[in-house]
Structure 1
Amino acid sequence: MKKNRLILAILATIGLVLSCNEDSLELSNPNELSPDTFLTNATQVESAVIAVYSNLQTRGLFSRHMFFMMDNMAHENGGNNQLEADKRQYLDFSFDSSHGAIGAYWESCYRGINKANYVIENKSLIDEIIPSVMSNADKAKAIAESKFLRALFYFFIVTRYGDAPLITTLPPDDGAGFGKSTSAEIYAQIIQDLQDAIPDLLPKGQEENGRATRGAAQALLGKVYLFLERYDDALGMFNALQGYDLEDNYFDNFMEETEFGVESIFEIQYDDDLGFSAQWNSDRSGEGPNEATFRGQEYGFNDWFNVFPSDDLLNEYEPGDIRYEQTFYVNGDTFGPDGSLTVTHFPSNGGGNAGWAKYQNYYKDANEDQTSGINFKYLRYADVLLMMAECESMRPGGDQDVAVGYINQVRERAGLADLPTGMSAAQVFDALVHERKVELAGEQCRFNDIIRWGIAGTELAGTNFQAGKHELLPIPQPEIDSNINLSSADQNPGY
């Protein structure tokens, strides 16, 4: 069993207190229990903060729909014949505002935001807890963790929907919803929350595994600055990171036994020993035991095998890149608890020529099931190094050789020769596009990358991707129907 787990089974009452109305996230005040009688000691505050983390484990996010959404839209995946229609719609960009999983993604984020707001808005009550019951440092850290998580949920929202409701207070008692704010306003709130959180979060090594650390907030803020093309600000955040490095073995990032290693900055936690009875019910609420992800079963070549790595992705790897064999299974590879089984599965019934090894349990099991306990690495140091390379290359007066040096740190672990010095900015950009594609394959990064780089139309040619439309998801129609401050005119372009 994993030690020092954060995401435990949440008390049902906490989930109910902090959840939103099923019909609209905007319409219901969550405080069925008054904070005057609830947030009175450290245990209760801790429960409220943990409830915010729990929304990362919904099926709308990391437990199921998010990896399909991001990996399929990026065409890192192809679909086998049995792939469900709503997941196939990501591949051919045929989804619309009625798409249930897109609605679950939206609502999972906003329920998480609502839970964070519950903690943040009640800061004055938390501060009234006497220091002998809860230290001032712990009170400040509870607010900081909630602000980090609110920023993370809003980053998920703004990158996928653009302009959207910006909610930083508890819902009004009259049930009125919130209208759209601009993406610039949302980004400003994300930046403010992360800046507020950084001083009061603990560094890695002093914090319980799985909680937001100072390094996690710095890395996320650096990523936000990068997305806004504020390259010097991003480098400032990345350079402030301390205590992180690359794992010697790339695959250590994707096994259960080697979680929270030196490369890990922030992980979405799972541990099926702690319970998963709510996994089919926790579409967006985060209530109940949801300590397992469907990722292993869904992507498992010897199990449901709904998707496979696309040929476009497989062909991106250079000869000798050890990440290829640590990311994929091909015919002739061995797997299972003692390596006694041989892969003979390809091509698959959808045409796939390989299966995923990353985040799979086949290094120790013959079969996957619905309860994988492998954590997702949302932020890791290799990603940071490549973002530092991009910032250095893109910033005014940037040194391309310094940028190449960051890329080469990642390449050296992969067993590849260093890129040469003297490369142009255009050559460095091409190297970055390649390196992020192979280093972060299947980690839900590439779609955001090709969108922000403005190359999605080229990279996704022939997939039905429409520039000017599919950079964003549609705002879920139930939200427009139930929120009096949203109308069809607020829908994203093309939907």
Structure 2
Amino acid sequence: MKNIKNIKFILGIFTLICMTNSCSDKDLELTNPTTLSPETYFQTKDQVESSVNAAYANLQTTALYTRLYFFELDNMSHENAGNPQLEADKKEFLEFSFDSGSADISDYWTVCYLGINKSNFVISNSDKINAIDNSILPQVSKDKYIGEAKFMRAFYYFLLVKRFGGVPLYDALPKGADDVRARATVAEVYDLIVSDLKTAITTLLSRTTEQKGRATKEAAQALLGKVLLYQKKYDESLTALNAVTGFSLEPDFYDNFIEEKEHGVESIFEVEFDAKLGTGNLWGAGNGAQGGNESTLRGQEYGNLNWYNVYPSDNILDEFEANDKRFAATFYVVGDKYNGGSNTMVAANFGSGGGTRRAGWKKYSNYYKKIDEAIDSGINFKIIRYSDILLMKAECENQRPGGVQATAIGYINQVRLRAGLLPLVTTLTKDQVFKAIIHERKVEFAGEQSRFDDIIRWGNAATELAGTKFKIGKNELWPIPNNETGKNPLITGNNPGW
């Protein structure tokens, strides 16, 4: 990772703390059991920092931002269409034909729980961390490291609750192999997420003093605002979002998606990648995040000059207004320059399946500076941007009792102004503002794994995905994986329709 040090070499010890109901026996082995153990750990600053870094590492696995996550969400939202070479396991998410035996869904579940375990390893050892002499690790540092672990635990549970609904809840390390739990309710999962984030806000450092790449007070406030919005707690969400200060929109929208502009004025939280730090275990890092895996395959998978497994659907292309600057920053079309302006996209660059596609994805692509992706990409993923804060504030203001539509429109217009579009008039009705938010989020976050979650929480997925194989009452959630229901007798049944 560019800014979080030592994230890879310390991961062996953390396989010890895998939940036995969420990982296989081989994940429980120590890389070097004679060197480190939980009993002798947490005596130095480096040990504390390394244990916290381990919680971040699962974001870099193939089950999440290295590969599968962007396929799953962009395919289900039908921002993607599939070329003939798209692999079957990813095509399932376009067609909603996956089931509880899906290895990709199982990997998602496992990698999130391993991230939770790594977070709990820190949280459950708070007493040991606090016992370290302040001359070795000041109390403010102890508090902020524990706060980072709570932020990461909240983030992983947020990933889980959005996909599965209620899930087993572990707020500390499991007591042993027999410590299996029934599914908590959705409300209980959200309660833990909110509690963790509120605690983290009080201890995390501000972005002005924290090392880039780590969770900050502002990131926790932003995530709290999003979590509360998903629960339709608009007043509480707006309060949290209003506390996110010190950010602004990048003057050039495209700067959000290139390597040289990472951690810019708009970025609130990113998943870190840096191919120079090592990608030797790109295909074998596994759910436990062991080994070097500092590269994302997003550019290679989506790139119209490379694997071109998917391409932008007509649905997303047609959503953009004329003269919206975001279109040229989001997609490549015939005639566009690339490789530092040295090359031009031609029709043959968009050919697949005997035809020519209208466009290819540009976000998170290295073509702006290279002629080929060459698999390894070190471009960070933006998880929360300031434009998201503005549009969430607009939604809260519009939807809350007594909300002022003109204020909501003001937030939307900040985003539209950056896109080179005319502002919305301030006399729109509540319903008109909501439709404007739906449109604006769709084009602002195209290809950023936001759309499917948005239409599910808005309850309009059946309309937005009309003509696809989305089934209302079923495909809002994923099924609990077979390998989990098969070994946890307290999980009975599955999600509706499964």
Where on the TM-score scale, by shorter chain, does this alignment land: which range?
A: over 0.9
Distance in 1 between residues matched to 2:4 and 2:23, nearest whole Å: 32
Distance in 2 between residues matched to 1:248 and 1:10, nearest whole Å: 38
Query: 1:65-214 counterparts in 2 under 5 A?
Result: 65-214=68-217
How many pairs does the alignment contain? 492
Q: 1:323 Cα shift?
A: 0.4
Q: Deviations over 1:260-300 (max 9, x none)?
A: 00000000000000011222112311112110001010001
Q: RMSD over aligned Cα, in angstroms? A: 1.9
Q: 1:433 Cα shift?
A: 0.5
Q: 1:169 Cα shift?
A: 1.7
CA distance 1:25–1:234, shift in 2 (3 Å): farther
CA distance 1:28–1:302, shift in 2 (3 Å): closer
Q: 1:6 Cα shift?
A: 4.4
Normalised to the residue count of structure 1, the TM-score between the two structures is: 0.96
Say which SS state the counterpart of residue 85 (structure 2) adopts.
coil
Distance in 2 between residues matched to 1:167 and 1:40, nearest whole Å: 25
The answer (yes or no) to whether the contact 2:12–2:290 under 8 Å persists in 1 is: no
Matched, 1:247 2:246: no
Q: Match for 1:346: what amino acid?
A: F
What residue in structure 1 maps to residue 407 of structure 2? 402
Distance in 2 between residues matched to 1:288 and 1:417, nearest whole Å: 49
Distance in 2 between residues matched to 1:352 and 1:25, nearest whole Å: 42
Q: 1:26 Cα shift?
A: 11
What residue in structure 2 maps to residue 462 of structure 1? 467
Report which stretch shifted further, 279-288 or 422-431: 279-288
Distance in 1 between residues matched to 2:161 and 2:117, nearest whole Å: 16
What residue in structure 2 maps to residue 16 of structure 1? 15
What residue in structure 1 maps to residue 61 of structure 2? 58
Query: 1:272-283 counterparts in 2 under 5 A?
Result: 272-283=275-286
Q: Deviations over 1:100-131 (max 9, x none)?
A: 11111111100000110110011011111111
CA distance 1:384–1:398, shift in 2 (3 Å): same
Identity of aligned residues (%): 50
CA distance 1:23–1:261, shift in 2 (3 Å): closer
Query: 1:22-61 counterparts in 2 under 5 A?
Result: 24=23, 33-61=36-64
The answer (yes or no) to whether the contact 2:19–2:174 under 8 Å persists in 1 is: no
Distance in 2 between residues matched to 1:15 and 1:335, nearest whole Å: 43
Q: Match for 2:382: what amino acid?
A: K
CA distance 1:7–1:210, shift in 2 (3 Å): farther
What residue in structure 2 maps to residue 381 of structure 1? 386
CA distance 1:26–1:406, shift in 2 (3 Å): farther
Distance in 1 between residues matched to 2:142 and 2:303, nearest whole Å: 43
Q: 1:483 Cα shift?
A: 1.7
The answer (yes or no) to whether the contact 1:9–1:274 under 8 Å persists in 2 is: no
Matched, 1:294 2:294: no
Distance in 1 between residues matched to 2:11 and 2:159, nearest whole Å: 26
The answer (yes or no) to whether the contact 1:436–1:446 under 8 Å persists in 2 is: yes
Q: Match for 1:90: what amino acid?
A: F
Distance in 2 between residues matched to 1:20 and 1:371, nearest whole Å: 31
What residue in structure 1 maps to residue 427 of structure 2? 422
Q: Match for 1:375: what amino acid?
A: N
What residue in structure 1 maps to residue 450 of structure 2? 445
Normalised to the residue count of structure 2, the TM-score between the two structures is: 0.95
CA distance 1:310–1:120, shift in 2 (3 Å): same
The answer (yes or no) to whether the contact 2:13–2:37 under 8 Å persists in 1 is: no
Q: Match for 2:54: what amino acid?
A: A
What residue in structure 1 maps to residue 374 of structure 2? 369
Q: 1:5 Cα shift?
A: 4.0
The answer (yes or no) to whether the contact 1:27–1:483 under 8 Å persists in 2 is: no
Distance in 1 between residues matched to 2:452 and 2:9, nearest whole Å: 32
Q: 1:18 Cα shift?
A: 4.2
Q: Match for 2:75: what amino acid?
A: N
Say which SS state the counterpart of residue 388 (structure 1) adopts.
helix
What residue in structure 2 maps to residue 321 of structure 1? 324
CA distance 1:80–1:36, shift in 2 (3 Å): same
Distance in 1 between residues matched to 2:166 and 2:243, nearest whole Å: 30
Distance in 1 between residues matched to 2:436 and 2:189, nearest whole Å: 31
CA distance 1:139–1:354, shift in 2 (3 Å): same
Distance in 2 between residues matched to 1:466 and 1:119, nearest whole Å: 41
Gaps of 5+ in 2: none
Q: 1:250 Cα shift?
A: 0.2
What residue in structure 2 maps to residue 348 of structure 1? 352
Q: 1:164 Cα shift?
A: 0.8
Q: Match for 1:358: what amino acid?
A: K
Distance in 1 between residues matched to 2:120 and 2:382, nearest whole Å: 25
Q: 1:340 Cα shift?
A: 2.4
Gaps of 5+ in 1: none
Say which SS state the counterpart of residue 377 (structure 1) adopts.
strand
Report which stretch shifted further, 169-178 or 67-76: 169-178
The answer (yes or no) to whether the contact 1:7–1:53 under 8 Å persists in 2 is: no
Distance in 2 between residues matched to 1:216 and 1:184, nearest whole Å: 22
Matched, 1:484 2:489: yes
Q: 1:353 Cα shift?
A: 1.4
CA distance 1:15–1:441, shift in 2 (3 Å): same
Q: Match for 1:112: what amino acid?
A: G
CA distance 1:15–1:118, shift in 2 (3 Å): closer
Distance in 2 between residues matched to 1:11 and 1:121, nearest whole Å: 18
Distance in 2 between residues matched to 1:360 and 1:6, nearest whole Å: 25
Matched, 1:223 2:222: no
Q: 1:27 Cα shift?
A: 12
Q: Match for 2:413: what amino acid?
A: N
Q: Match for 2:424: what amino acid?
A: L
What residue in structure 2 maps to residue 256 of structure 1? 259
Q: 1:332 Cα shift?
A: 1.3
Matched, 1:475 2:480: yes
The answer (yes or no) to whether the contact 2:84–2:352 under 8 Å persists in 1 is: no
Say which SS state the counterpart of residue 378 (structure 1) adopts.
strand
Distance in 2 between residues matched to 1:325 and 1:261, nearest whole Å: 20
Report which stretch shifted further, 107-116 or 476-485: 476-485
Distance in 1 between residues matched to 2:220 and 2:453, nearest whole Å: 19
Q: 1:391 Cα shift?
A: 0.3
Q: 1:314 Cα shift?
A: 0.2
Say which SS state the counterpart of residue 316 (structure 1) adopts.
coil
The answer (yes or no) to whether the contact 1:24–1:479 under 8 Å persists in 2 is: no
The answer (yes or no) to whether the contact 1:308–1:352 under 8 Å persists in 2 is: yes
The answer (yes or no) to whether the contact 1:15–1:286 under 8 Å persists in 2 is: no
CA distance 1:120–1:64, shift in 2 (3 Å): same
Say which SS state the counterpart of residue 152 (structure 1) adopts.
helix
